[in-house]
Amino acid sequence: SRNIYVLALESSADDTCAAVVSSNRKILSNVVAHQFQDQEKWGGIHPMISTECHQKRMPGTVRMALEESGMDMDSIDGIAFTRGPGMVSCLNVGANAAKTLAAALNKPIVGVHHMQAHALTPFLTSENPPQFPFLALLASGGHTMLLLATSPVSFKMLANTADVSIGNAFDRVSRELKIPWGEASGSARIGAGPMLEKIAAKHPTSNPYSFPELPLAMQGSLGFSFGGLVSSVQRLITKLGPAATEDSATQAAIAHAFQHAAVGQLQEKLMLALRSCERRGIAVKTVVASGGVASNMYLRSCVESTMKTLGIAVQYPPISLCTDNAAMIAWASMDRFLRGDVDPYDITVKPKWDL
Ligand code: KG4
Ligand code: ZN
């Protein structure tokens, strides 16, 4: 059968995205318009500002995705959009654009689960996609979660964060330690995480500092929490005074102790999740690690060495497709378009959409 072409729109958080992808795994275009208003990643994303940005940029982003793909709407077979989870007013920008465009042109639509799309990315990008069942570890500025994928259509959320994301924790600690970033890391988009990683690598061999990996209340439970860790780091920095940020050895020691605790928590929860799968007779052979924080080399080496002892492989999609994008939304809709399992034009968004 011939290839089909899907135009997808994504606007669940702070990136306005559009892409064209074909059923034979070709990404014809993948346009992402970032919002830098939340660069500092303090309180996260402001829904109203973010919504306005999406409203302003979605039409241009769609235009650009079509131009870059060299296609016009006549050759597009279906339109996909992120149905949830996400901020309702943000989701609605992409959903309404997709639905109206589809209705006007008489094209089918499919609403996609954002997290499912993240977990399915390796099937779009890898020559060796993981076998089901596999675990997806999503560690970024927006997510900290563990998903169990048992088939292309069945997913279960095993763990989510109770407070801030791990990326957010890296960014806050970086700021507390007065680690410069932005120009220093090449692009504001990269965030403060990579600079913290660089500085942490210079830590003294015997580190005088350490932080608990997770709050007592969360021990043994499948859920992440990084708020307490960030507070512990803040308290130490306050206690040490200017030395914490001005003495480079102290700064490196704190950065490393933080990174060690944050990564330790990821590992701990990963092990818990694997054990719970094992108890239920689910033989996981692969962990797919994605999101900006998954590019951290310390994290990669810790996770890989632990997984190696268990005979579990670790895979990373390319970083450009780990972050929010519409190519993954297009890909996640493909099966449904091919089967003719499409949504009605009056479909509504699902800001809270459990797996
Ligand atoms: O997936 P991502 O690029 O985008 C969003 O979540 O929107 O993740 C960005 C986050 C930022 O918090 C950034 O500081 C963090 O990922 N990050 C890192 C590293 N690279 C990016 N954190 C730790 N180590 C890194 N190497
Ligand atoms: Zn995402």
DSSP code string of 96-140: HHHHHHHHHHT--EEEEEHHHHHHHHHHHH-SSPPPSSEEEEEES
- Whether 347 is covered by a domain: the verdict is no
| Ligand 1 close to Cβ of residue 194 (< 6 A) | yes
- Whether 71 is covered by a domain: the verdict is yes
Number of structural domains found in the chain: 2
In the predicted structure, residue 95 carries a pLDDT above the cut 50: yes
pLDDT band at 36 (very low <50, low <70, confident <90, very high): low
CATH at residue 332: 3.30.420.40
**Ligand 1 mean position to 95 CA, how many Å?**
27
- The pLDDT score that the predictor gives to residue 185 is 43
Query: Whole-angstrom Cα distance, residue 163 to residue 144?
Result: 10
- The pLDDT score that the predictor gives to residue 190 is 57
For 109-130, the pLDDT digits (tens) are: 999 999 999 999 999 999 999 9
**Ligand 2 mean position to 116 CA, how many Å?**
10
- Rounded mean pLDDT, 137-146: 92
Task: Give the DSSP letter of residue 165.
Answer: -
pLDDT band at 292 (very low <50, low <70, confident <90, very high): confident
**Ligand 2 mean position to 240 CA, how many Å?**
37
Q: Which residues pair with 33 in a beta bridge?
A: 16
Query: Which protein residue's CA is at the shortest distance from atom 14 of ligand 1?
Result: 193
- Whether 351 is covered by a domain: the verdict is no
Kind of pairing between the strands at 78-84 and 5-10: parallel
- Whether 172 is covered by a domain: the verdict is yes
The angle formed by the CA atoms of residues 188, 192 and 194, to the nearest 5 degrees, is 100
By C-alpha distance, which of 15, 57, 46 is closest to 321?
A: 15
In the predicted structure, residue 310 carries a pLDDT above the cut 60: yes
Ligand 1 atom nearest residue 299's Cα: 24
Verify that 234 and 134 share a domain, yes or no.
yes
- What does the block give as tokens for 14? 């702070």
**Ligand 2 mean position to 37 CA, how many Å?**
18
Verify that 166 and 63 share a domain, yes or no.
no
- Whether 110 is covered by a domain: the verdict is yes
Estimate to the nearest angstrom the gap between the alpha carbon of 4 and the chain centroid.
27
Please give the share of the chain, as a percent, with pLDDT higher than 70. Answer: 94
- What does the block give as tokens for 293? 């924080």
In the predicted structure, residue 191 carries a pLDDT above the cut 70: no
Name the residue of 172, 187, 190, 328 whose CB sits within 8 Å of the most ligand 1 atoms, as the mutation to test its pocket: 190
Query: Whole-angstrom Cα distance, residue 324 to residue 302?
Result: 25
- The pLDDT score that the predictor gives to residue 187 is 47
By C-alpha distance, which of 317, 333, 323 is closest to 23?
A: 333
| Ligand 1 close to Cβ of residue 140 (< 6 A) | yes
Query: Whole-angstrom Cα distance, residue 334 to residue 152?
Result: 11
Ligand whose nearest atom lies closest to the CA of 139? 1
Query: Which protein residue's CA is at the shortest distance from atom 12 of ligand 1?
Result: 167
Who has greater pLDDT, 190 or 230? 230
Please give the share of the chain, as a percent, with pLDDT higher than 90. Answer: 82
What range defines the domain where residue 264 resides?
Answer: 130-316
By C-alpha distance, which of 354, 324, 353, 329 is closest to 84?
A: 353
Estimate to the nearest angstrom the gap between the alpha carbon of 67 and the chain centroid.
27
For 150-190, the pLDDT digits (tens) are: 998 899 999 999 999 999 999 999 999 999 865 444 444 55
**Ligand 2 mean position to 143 CA, how many Å?**
7
Amino acid at 11: S
- Rounded mean pLDDT, 31-44: 64
Contact partners, residue 126, CB within 8 Å, separation at least 6: 315, 317
Verify that 258 and 172 share a domain, yes or no.
yes
Verify that 14 and 151 share a domain, yes or no.
no
| Ligand 1 close to Cβ of residue 296 (< 6 A) | yes
Verify that 108 and 157 share a domain, yes or no.
no
Verify that 17 and 82 share a domain, yes or no.
yes
Query: Which protein residue's CA is at the shortest distance from atom 10 of ligand 1?
Result: 141
| Ligand 1 close to Cβ of residue 111 (< 6 A) | no
| Ligand 1 close to Cβ of residue 141 (< 6 A) | yes
- Whether 259 is covered by a domain: the verdict is yes
Query: Which protein residue's CA is at the shortest distance from atom 21 of ligand 1?
Result: 292
Contact partners, residue 43, CB within 8 Å, separation at least 6: none
In the predicted structure, residue 225 carries a pLDDT above the cut 90: yes
pLDDT band at 42 (very low <50, low <70, confident <90, very high): very low
Verify that 185 and 256 share a domain, yes or no.
yes
In the predicted structure, residue 72 carries a pLDDT above the cut 90: yes
Name the residue of 170, 185, 195, 259 whose CB sits within 8 Å of the most ligand 1 atoms, as the mutation to test its pocket: 170
Verify that 330 and 194 share a domain, yes or no.
no
Verify that 224 and 97 share a domain, yes or no.
no
- The pLDDT score that the predictor gives to residue 41 is 47
- Rounded mean pLDDT, 321-336: 95
Which span out of 153-167, 184-198, 250-264 was modeled with the highest average pLDDT? 250-264
Verify that 39 and 137 share a domain, yes or no.
no
- The pLDDT score that the predictor gives to residue 44 is 56
- The pLDDT score that the predictor gives to residue 37 is 53
- The pLDDT score that the predictor gives to residue 80 is 98
Kind of pairing between the strands at 16-22 and 5-10: antiparallel
- Whether 114 is covered by a domain: the verdict is yes
Verify that 163 and 235 share a domain, yes or no.
yes
Query: Whole-angstrom Cα distance, residue 89 to residue 111?
Result: 16
For 54-67, the pLDDT digits (tens) are: 999 999 999 999 99
If you average pLDDT over every residue of the chain, what do you get?
92
Kind of pairing between the strands at 154-159 and 313-315: unpaired
- Whether 355 is covered by a domain: the verdict is no
Verify that 201 and 236 share a domain, yes or no.
yes
